[in-house]
Structure formats: structure tokens, C-alpha cells
Amino acid sequence: AIISAYCPNLIVTCGKNGVYICTPTFCRHYKTPSVEVKSTVGAGDNFNAGFIYGLNKYNITKKVLPLLPENKWDDLVRCAMAFSSNVCCSLENYISHEFAENFK
């Protein structure tokens, strides 16, 4: 409750335990996709990159973010988790070229 005055939308990543998101209108837990983890180096950075990719893909601006419906948050978290999951499947700390080509 205290943090909501400073941060109305909060996303917390918990590795294999999923992702929590709280907005002024809902709180939700997203399960982490089951993947064979080779390394978690870069997982958080790629989660952020996937989230930003989703913002661009779905034309979500700072202005509309406070009014974003739950299904659009689902889309953003889905992008973020896909990027993060992909990077965990290799020893590299970035998404694969094949993933990037197929994710468009």
C-alpha cells in the first residue's frame, strides 16, 4: 500500500516462481513457462527488453498506461516472459536470432 503512492504499477519477477503484477485495478500472478534452464544470466534484462518490445508492439504509451486493461497487461507480460525464457535456454545472455525472427 505504501509503494502505490510512488509506483502505481508494480511488476515483481521471481524466477521459477513466476511474475506478480499489481496495478490500481488488479493484482495477478503469472506462472513461469517450463523450460530447461541452462543459465539465468541476462534473464532480468531480457524480461525488461521483452516488456519494452511489447510496449512498442502494442503502441502502449505512458499516457495510456494508467488506463491499460488487464488483457493488455497480459500481452506485455507474455512478451517479457518469452524473452526471459528464451535467454534461459542457452549459455548466452541474449535472445537467439531464431527467436527474434519468429517472435515478430
Residues paired with 11 in a beta bridge: 21
| pLDDT tens for each residue of 36-59 | 999 999 999 999 999 999 999 999
Residue 7 has what pLDDT? 87
Residue 23 has what pLDDT? 92
CATH 3.40.190.10 assigned to 3-103: no
- Amino acid letter, residue 28: R
- CA-nearest of 20, 9, 88, 81 to 49 is 81
| Residue 95 neighbours by CB under 8 Å, 6+ apart | 46, 49, 83, 86, 87, 103
**DSSP-assigned letter for residue 30:** E
Q: Are 83 and 33 in contact (CB under 8 A)?
A: no
